[in-house]
Amino acid sequence: MDALLQFFNEQGYTLLFKTWEHLFISLVAVLMGIVVAVPLGIVLTRLQRAAETVIRLVSIIQTFPSLAILAFFIPLLGVGKLPAIVALFFYSMLPILRNTYIGIKETDKNLLEAGRGMGMTSQQLIFGIELPLAVPVIMAGIRVSTVYLIGWATLASFVGAGGLGDFIFDGLNLYKPELILAGAIPSTLLALLADWMLGRLETKLTPRMKSKAQELA
């Protein structure tokens, strides 16, 4: 207990700052992934020939080692938060893109036919029926991406982006277990908290969006 109190006295502010850096890097990358992957997933449901190729390409990128992706962007973007965010953005794409595509494709065809019978345009079908009904599947992809990225963001320390990875790698280099735990425990808690919050958001959105879609159709 004394060692813990001493650590917080010495490193408390640094821990809070590194936690904020970690969250910033992870959430910006996830938001970028949502902004790009959700519209792209919708578009791919209209372009069947291109869908398999695009998803396969994104899947291949997902198999690249995290450090290799980070190293690839250093000559292009230098060091710091930008290359880390861009690299994590690419990693966030696959679960969100795939789940958006699947969620939209599995929309009840009867509801779509009812919407068309009411004279709804393609855009109205997307925002009034398909997206609301696909919310649980899309949110599942967002949750997976968010949890993964919070874990992978520890590697951002290698490119000078900061975050909780600084504690982990300092602890490894200096053989200080307390520093390793100071990075590993908060990053794990952040991932669990993010998953819980997104789960709550999904629970609130799902019945509301489904009822909206059913009313329109």
Domain 2-216 has CATH 1.10.10.10: no
Distance CA 139, CA 103 (A): 10
Work out the pLDDT band at 115, boundaries 50, 70, 90: confident
What are 147-182's pLDDT values in tens digits?
Answer: 989 988 888 888 888 888 888 888 888 888 888 888
Q: Which of 14-18, 37-41, 160-164 has the highest mean pLDDT?
A: 37-41
What are 69-89's pLDDT values in tens digits?
Answer: 888 888 888 888 898 999 899
What are 189-204's pLDDT values in tens digits?
Answer: 999 999 999 888 888 7
pLDDT of 131 higher than 80? yes
pTM: 0.84
Distance CA 185, CA 209 (A): 36
Contact indicator for 120, 78 with CB cutoff of 8 Å? no
Q: Could you tell me the residue ranges of all domains in the chain?
A: 2-216
Enter the tokens of residue 121.
């345009």
Q: Tell me which long-range contacts 188-197 makes (C-beta under 8 A, separation of at least 24).
A: 190/19, 190/22, 190/23, 190/26, 190/150, 191/146, 191/147, 191/150, 191/151, 194/26, 194/143, 194/146, 194/147, 194/150, 195/143, 195/146, 195/147
Enter the tokens of residue 38.
């959700």
Work out the pLDDT band at 28, boundaries 50, 70, 90: very high
> Helix, strand or coil for residue 175?
coil
Residue matched to tokens 């393609």: 122
